[in-house]
A = this chain, B = another copy of it.
Amino acid sequence: MKIGIVGGTGDIGEGMAMRLSPIFDVIVGSRESEKAEQTCRMGLELQKKRGIDCSLTGVTNQIAIDDADVIILAIPFKHLSGTLGTLHGFEGKTVISPVNPMEKRDFFTCVPPEEGSAALMIQRILPPSARICTAFNMIAANKWKALEEELAYSVPVCGDDDAAKREVMAIVNKVSKLQSFDAGPLAASCLVESLTPLLLNIARYNKMRDVGIQFH
């Protein structure tokens, strides 16, 4: 399966690429293909040193969308609308949103757009046949990048297309020790997007690092 990461050279996108590329064919997208190629060269070298084979290709964001079966939007919320406006070709594809519409004031808080959540905003912007799911919202960049550490977290997945949701849940379950949970329709995604600012507050006020979550 080919997974394209839009914003794949950002902090979180790069960590995702490293974790996913030993399992899937990962297509790293960036505004400039040179940057994506460089990220992939460094990633391949790093994994080779660890004795791990992986599939990493660096291209533009648009080619990542065109060539992939499943697309991850690893874009900060503030750039989401602008970036999506420059891209096309999402018709019929499974699109994963790990995006959290949050702000840091004295503390972290969720500031959803008028659609109710980042995922619902993506649904409004993309063509109706794009099959949007939330996933990976609460996994910090540091966690993605700490390749020697297991990711033993729960991952809630929202979405309106059952087949796409099952596909995304299966992807999640193949990464480290992540465990996916069906968290309902996309209309419930605001609850998932509220988790990351909560975990950031807990990390901050309890002097913890990169707090994760488990449901049981």
Q: How far is the CA of A108 from the CA of B188 in the complex (A)?
A: 8
Q: Which B residues lie within 8 Å of A194 (CB)? A: 110, 190-191, 194-195, 198
Cβ-neighbour of A107 out of B156, B187, B202, B214 (below 8 A)? B187
Q: How far is the CA of A85 from the CA of B88 in the complex (A)?
A: 55
Report whether A188 and B156 are in contact in the complex, using a CB–CB cutoff of 8 Å.
no
Report whether A107 and B198 are in contact in the complex, using a CB–CB cutoff of 8 Å.
no
Cβ-neighbour of A212 out of B106, B187, B201, B215 (below 8 A)? B215
Number of copies of this chain that the complex holds: 2
Q: How far is the CA of A97 from the CA of B206 in the complex (A)?
A: 21
Most central of A184, A192, A197 by chain B CB within 10 Å: A184
Report whether B191 and A198 are in contact in the complex, using a CB–CB cutoff of 8 Å.
yes
| Residue interface mask A96-136, B partner, CB < 8 A = 1 | 00000000001111100000000000000000000000000
Cβ-neighbour of A184 out of B184, B187, B195, B201 (below 8 A)? B201
Chain B residue with the shortest CB-CB distance to A198: B191
Supply 29 A–B pairs (Cβ within 8 Å), ascending by A: A107-B184, A107-B185, A108-B184, A109-B187, A109-B191, A156-B198, A156-B202, A182-B202, A182-B205, A183-B198, A183-B202, A183-B205, A184-B204, A188-B197, A188-B201, A191-B194, A191-B195, A191-B198, A191-B201, A192-B198, A194-B194, A195-B198, A211-B215, A211-B216, A212-B216, A213-B213, A213-B214, A213-B215, A214-B216
A residues with CB within 8 A of B: 106-110, 156, 181-185, 187-188, 190-192, 194-195, 197-199, 201-202, 204-206, 211-216
